[in-house]
Amino acid sequence: MTASTKADAARLVSVIVPTNNRPSQLRLALASIRALEGPDLHFEILVGDNGNAPETPAVAREFDAVYLKTKKNGAGPARNLGLSAATGDYFSFIDDDDIWLPENIRPHLAMLDARPELDAVIGQLICTDKDLNPISGPLPDVSPGEGDKMLREMLGDWFPQVGTTLARMRVRDKVGLFDEKHVHGEDVDWFLRLGRLRTVAFTQTPCILFRGRPPGTYDKLHRSRLVAGRRVFLKHAIPERRIFKSAGDFSRGYNSRMWQFFTYFSYAAEQRAARGERRQAIYAMLTAAYVFPGRALVHLLKRSAMRRALVGILTRGKSANTKRGAG
């Protein structure tokens, strides 16, 4: 079959959707998938449910999706259920709180048709608030390249999002399922395994609306991601150390990977101190210091979120003690 004949034929793409007790958001996600269908493109939707909302099976049936149930926590087991059951020629993902954009999938298919050696194509995301109002332009705004260059970006500060990715089904055998040991880091680990194939391309196509959490509101989750992020980086960076030009370049890759955690907990400490949440603010400051001890000390000595957090902790703590003494 020629490339032009393939482009004219209807494609079957398996879409894996992990969900946990968010039936209303799941309905929007599934609707965004079905909205992309046409004579040239069909979707097999597989919903992996690790929650207990009684409405979820009915929402899956509403969109003619395969409903799969697991008792294991985390997106990894739910994704693995769907990926294992998938029967399409290609597969993709979407999280239950995100939305596919109309431009998704077809540009990926065109690149895969044109380049048979490619295993997968990754596109762009648009970050939004909890109400799906965009707060960023399409990201990344610059191509991460291919081969070693893309892998180096993945080992730095680029975190591909599963909802922007389309892969040939053969990737399931090449890369395997999500490693369920890496709770909160299983997607990063999977993408690094994919990147290490060096057969992944990028399309400058906005693919999803990615619903984010308000900064400073998910400290516990981000602490888990911090530990997993460090472990996953070392797991893949050490075997691929040849792509780093020097020990200093390796260190810069690690610093880029971990910088998001330092900035998150610095900001969280400032926000919690401002709200009078002294204990949580101290814990957030200590977590930032755990990531980069030297930088934490420097940031305490200059105008920064860390310094403002410290001032807030000390002044609010002194104020509280004064009130107790006055009583």
User: What tens digit of pLDDT does each residue of 47-82 get?
Assistant: 999 999 999 999 999 999 999 999 998 899 999 999
pLDDT at 9 over 90: no
Strand order in the sheet with 200-211: 66-69, 41-49, 11-19, 90-93, 165-168, 120-128, 200-211, 99-100
Q: Are 321 and 281 in contact (CB under 8 A)?
A: no
Rounded to an integer, the average pLDDT of 26-55 is 97
- The H-or-E segment that residue 169 falls in is none
Beta strands at 11-19 and 120-128: parallel, antiparallel or unpaired: unpaired
Tell me if 18 sits within 8 A of 26, measured CB to CB.
no
What is residue 322's predicted lDDT score, i.e. its pLDDT? Answer: 39
Determine which of 11-20, 170-179, 276-285 has the lowest per-residue pLDDT on average: 276-285
Asked if the model's pLDDT at residue 1 lies above 60, the reply is no
List phi, psi (to 5°) of 64. Answer: 55, 45
**pLDDT (0 to 100) of residue 216:** 67
DSSP 20-81: SS-HHHHHHHHHHHHTT-BTTEEEEEEEEE-S--TTHHHHHHHTTPEEEE--S-SHHHHHHH
The tens digit of pLDDT for each residue in 114-163 reads 999 999 999 999 999 989 999 999 999 999 999 999 999 999 999 999 99
The boundaries of every CATH 3.90.550.10 domain in the chain are: 3-211
Rounded CA separation 108/123 (Å): 8
**How does pLDDT run across 273-300, given as a tens digit for each residue?**
999 999 999 999 999 999 999 999 999 9
| CA dihedral sign, ordered 41, 140, 163, 250 | positive
* pLDDT above 90: percentage of residues in the chain: 83
**pLDDT beyond 90 at 112:** yes
Spelled out in words, what is the top-level CATH class assigned to the domain 3-211? alpha beta
